[in-house]
Amino acid sequence: MDLRFEQDLSDVDFGGVCPAVRPVLVAGQVRNIAGMLRLQLEADTTLSCVCDRCAATFDKPFHLSLEYLLAEELEGEENDDILLLDNGTIDLAELVREAFILNMDTKTLCREDCKGLCPGCGANLNEEACRCKKEIDPRLAALAKLLE
Ligand SMILES: [Zn+2]
Ligand SMILES: [Zn+2]
């Protein structure tokens, strides 16, 4: 059985940012392999991210690949790869939503070496130099006064 649907995850909030501004495209299939039901899903979208360091917004592709076995009941120990069916059904929207949250990067950077904002003057150090005045060494302050 082929599966294909669009899911709205625009309400999923990561610290005040909801990156899934575009629909998430989900495609996959359930296959019966020797009496075992195997579910495979691929989810794709383009996220709208905010850099944790410099607050720039940027787009980033998001891809998720999921694979589970479906079972009516568990025999033996817990297994993360096995999904239990509930009355022969499974909530794919809930599954994709949980996987999306679990697979989101904990840190979002516009680029690996983002220099961020200066905590003193707020300059975006990727684009401009810091405008903070250099602190005068207290040992030289008296000398600086003489020069004024
Ligand atoms: Zn950045
Ligand atoms: Zn500065």
**41 CA to middle of ligand 1, Å?**
32
Domain segments of the chain: what residues?
Answer: 2-114, 116-148
**11 CA to middle of ligand 2, Å?**
35
Angle, CA of 27, 25 and 88, to the nearest 5°: 50
Q: Could you report the per-residue pLDDT of 20-37, keeping only the tens digit for each?
A: 999 999 999 999 998 889
With b for 16 or more beta-carbon neighbours within 10 A and e for fewer, the 64-74 pattern comes to: bebebebeeee
Closest to 9 measured CA to CA, from 111, 104, 109, 110: 104
Mean pLDDT of the chain: 90
Query: pLDDT higher for 86 or 12?
Result: 12
Residues with CB under 5 A from ligand 1 (ion): 51, 53-54, 110, 114
pTM score over 0.85: no
pLDDT class of 143 with cuts at 50, 70, 90: confident
Of 7-16, 70-79, 102-111, 126-135, the one with minimum mean pLDDT is 70-79
Q: Which ligand is nearest to the CA of 129?
A: 2
Q: Could you report the per-residue pLDDT of 37-54, keeping only the tens digit for each?
A: 999 999 999 999 999 999
